[in-house]
Amino acid sequence: MTDAHAIDSLGWERRTFVPSDAFRSNALVSDHSLYEEASQDFTAFWAKQASELVSWSKDWHTASEWNLPFAKWFVGGELNVSYNCLDRHVLAGKGDKVAFHFEGEPGDTRTVTYAQLLDETQRFANVLKGLGVVKGDRVNIYMPMIPEAAIAMLACARIGAAHSVVFGGFSAISLTDRINDAEAKVLITADGGWRRGEIFPLKHTADEALLGTPTITDVVVVRRGGNEVTMQDGRDHWYHELMAQADPVCPAEPMDSEQLLFLLYTSGTTGRPKGIMHTSGGYLTQAAFTHKYVFDLHADTDVYWCTADVGWITGHTYIVYGPLANGATQVMYEGVPNFPGNDRMWQIVEKYGVTLFYTAPTAIRTFMKWGDHEPAKHDLSSLRLLGSVGEPINPEAWMWYHEHIGGSTCPIVDTWWQTETGAIMISPLPGVTTTKPGSATFGLPGIGTELVDESGEHVERGGGYLTLTQPWPAMLRGIWGDPDRYRETYWSRFSGRYFAGDGAKLDDDGYLWLLGRVDDVMNVSGHRISTTEVESALVSHPSVAEAAVVGALDATTGQAIIAYVTLRGGFEGDEQALRNHVAVEIGSIAKPKAIYFTPDLPKTRSGKIMRRLLRDVAEGRNLGDTSTLADASVVNELQRRAAEAPAED
Ligand code: WTA
């Protein structure tokens, strides 16, 4: 399905922002040399980055092996990812450097140095070993945003177990599915975490999930919320008790460059989430490279803050692996941006003197809604660079970010990438690129991007499908347990190239403007949710006969989930009950914003639900020709009702 509407809707933004002399004079890169070098030979370029940014215990013999669509990077090389993130900094005398300024939502704080992080990681790696976890096993992590989440991930990396982090907002059923797909041995969770002044009871949800997970033998529970939990004898253990007894030394064993580092589940166009596989050497190289150069990291002086949750890829690459590999000092914040007040983020920026700030457009639009006076309450002059990720950033939000957060001086890096790409692919380099509000600009050095039309032909200007033309070090290595689905999903639409699922447009200066998904994946507040998944959840409710779900444009969340439901005979439509049902099946992030009950769904004469038309209805557009519809009156009725305001949470 093409996204003609999205492509049409984008007016041209003509403002440009040249990197200031002040920024350039201090920037790590201020000319085109990296681009030039990479365009000569991208494999050699990445090999150079791998030697410069990563410590290897054994050199690779081949930089890259490419058997389309299967890639290997730094073949024959060995490294330990946790050594790269911890030991080498401590060995270099930086043990006292702060890794995390942790800020709990209730206001409690912890300062975690690299030496402490290394110590806890070693102990926890020994805890995992003690529970029988060995290299190659999978470990599930279901945690709040606390340092132990990073420690758990690094401990897995240290012993060669792959982690699979599940975002704490996902439901018990989602957790069960992910644990079972990965056949994980151990689950690491917490009693609860803080969110908007209340505890969300993670262990309680995990207990429900664990009723259906035969492979889990042990559960480790971090005490964070202090809420009451049930501990099952023999299976459940308190983190602090195991840690108190753990051996403090766990040597970082060298791992193959292609050792599985983690699985991260993400929504695709079909119902079942897929376990995206990332490995070690290539992933770490690109994570470190992009974190260093896109954010212009000066590790000795910068204070970096990425507001993502570790449950998403952004948290993996730009809170854990990239920043720690680079020895950065960062802020980690547990809670929501409006507790206790709407200025919490700016208070934290001021408190820690944050210099590099990375967040999502949906958050920026929310901050705009809360008003200019909130950031104005604080001294934000420490900031020197801003980043954006997760969805297209509209020019208004970009300008607001620039003026009200960046004091009209900070460059903005709008970074396009995906769970599958592992690291940033399209972004300005802040000391080099002239930016335009709303454009992610160009592919980074070493990355091949190309827009193509429906038939795969090169598009020079205007709209098209975004593809990636050459392998990159952090690329996904496959879908866990399903190589065919991997090939089919990413490599079959356009032969020989990776299709990202996004539409984009090239302007007259060759700048890329991302336009959003062109498939059945919605992007709600920067989270990927598949329409099919929400439809399946709705249909699993006893009252529902059929459901169609679309993502409609939304001023704050980018897209909002709108559902059209036909009921089984004898049932009353209960919108709240259905929304709650979706929250139980998937998680609250997938709750439809509005549900319309309709006696019929608009279908083609061959019986296909016309989702595109439903999206037009949901977005209040005039419908063109509806003559292909089996029953046009259905749509008239839906349109009439859509004109009434949709329900809010
Ligand atoms: C969207 C998040 C426009 C895009 C890192 C992509 C963006 C999906 C941007 C991946 C951006 C991410 N501009 N769109 N800067 N960044 N996207 O896997 O549709 O959660 O395909 O990874 O988010 O979402 P994911």
Q: How far apart are CA 79 and CA 465, in angstroms?
A: 37
Looking at the predicted structure, is the pLDDT value of residue 4 above 90? no
pLDDT band at 10 (very low <50, low <70, confident <90, very high): very low
Q: What is the CA radius of gyration of the chain?
A: 24
Across the chain, what does the average pLDDT equal? 93
What confidence score (pLDDT) does residue 329 get?
A: 98
State the burial class of residue 369 (Cβ atoms within 10 Å of its Cβ: 0-12, 13-18, 19+). exposed
Which tokens in the block code for residue 85? 């993130």
Q: How far apart are CA 261 and CA 281, in angstroms?
A: 9
Q: Tell how far the Cα of 451 is from the centroid of ligand 1, in angstroms.
A: 16
| Spatial contact of 321 and 284, defined as CB atoms under 8 Å apart | yes
* Ligand 1, pocket-test mutation among 401, 417, 419, 442, most atoms within 8 A of CB: 417
The reported pTM is 0.91
Nearest CA residue ID for atom 12, ligand 1: 390
**Region 240-261 average pLDDT:** 98
- Backbone phi and psi for residue 455, each to the nearest 5 degrees, phi listed first: -100, 10
**Region 528-556 average pLDDT:** 89
Q: How far apart are CA 427 and CA 290, in angstroms?
A: 9
Q: How far apart are CA 408 and CA 402, in angstroms?
A: 5
Q: How far apart are CA 105 and CA 128, in angstroms?
A: 28
Range list of H helices, 146-191: 147-159, 172-182
Instruction: Check if 266 has its Cβ closer than 6 Å to any atom of ligand 1.
Output: yes
Collapsing DSSP states into helix, strand and coil, what is residue 581? helix
Instruction: Check if 418 has its Cβ closer than 6 Å to any atom of ligand 1.
Output: yes
Pair type for strands 527-530 and 303-306: unpaired
| Spatial contact of 157 and 80, defined as CB atoms under 8 Å apart | yes
Nearest CA residue ID for atom 11, ligand 1: 416
Cα 100–102–104 angle (5° rounding)?
A: 165
* Ligand 1, pocket-test mutation among 166, 416, 515, most atoms within 8 A of CB: 416
* pLDDT tens digit sequence for 179-235: 999 999 999 999 999 999 999 999 999 999 999 999 999 999 999 999 999 999 999
Q: Which domains does the chain have, with CATH numbers?
A: 1-16+448-519 (2.30.38.10), 525-644 (3.30.300.30)
Looking at the predicted structure, is the pLDDT value of residue 278 above 90? yes
| Spatial contact of 56 and 325, defined as CB atoms under 8 Å apart | no
Q: Tell how far the Cα of 9 is from the centroid of ligand 1, in angstroms.
A: 19
Closest ligand 1 atom number to CA of residue 426: 15
| Spatial contact of 280 and 261, defined as CB atoms under 8 Å apart | yes
Instruction: Check if 501 has its Cβ closer than 6 Å to any atom of ligand 1.
Output: yes
* Ligand 1, pocket-test mutation among 290, 365, 389, most atoms within 8 A of CB: 389
What confidence score (pLDDT) does residue 628 get?
A: 57
Which tokens in the block code for residue 134? 């060995």
Q: Tell how far the Cα of 225 is from the centroid of ligand 1, in angstroms.
A: 32
What confidence score (pLDDT) does residue 127 get?
A: 98
Beta bridge partners of 70: 67
* Neighbouring residues of 325: CB distance < 8 A, sequence distance ≥ 6: 53, 54, 81, 84, 85, 284, 287, 288, 291
* Neighbouring residues of 627: CB distance < 8 A, sequence distance ≥ 6: none
Closest ligand 1 atom number to CA of residue 314: 5
Nearest CA residue ID for atom 7, ligand 1: 391
Nearest CA residue ID for atom 1, ligand 1: 391
* pLDDT tens digit sequence for 374-395: 999 999 999 999 999 999 898 9
Pair type for strands 186-190 and 138-142: parallel
Instruction: Check if 100 has its Cβ closer than 6 Å to any atom of ligand 1.
Output: no
Q: Is the peptide bond before 248 cis (omega within 30 degrees of 0)?
A: no
pLDDT band at 606 (very low <50, low <70, confident <90, very high): low
Binning the chain into helix, strand and coil, the percentages to the nearest 5 are: 35, 25, 40
Amino acid at 2: T
Q: How far apart are CA 332 and CA 104, in angstroms?
A: 8
3-state secondary structure 69-125: CEEEEEECCEECHHHHHHHHHHHHHHCCCEEEEEECCCCCEEEEEHHHHHHHHHHHH
What confidence score (pLDDT) does residue 626 get?
A: 60
| Spatial contact of 356 and 328, defined as CB atoms under 8 Å apart | no
Treating both helix axes as pointing N-terminal to C-terminal, what angle do 531-539 and 575-585 enclose, rounded to 10 degrees?
120
The residue behind tokens 């050594």 is 83
**Region 497-511 average pLDDT:** 94
Collapsing DSSP states into helix, strand and coil, what is residue 511? coil
pLDDT band at 624 (very low <50, low <70, confident <90, very high): low
Looking at the predicted structure, is the pLDDT value of residue 2 above 60? no
Cα 320–195–351 angle (5° rounding)?
A: 65
Largest CA distance in the chain: 73
Beta bridge partners of 587: 170
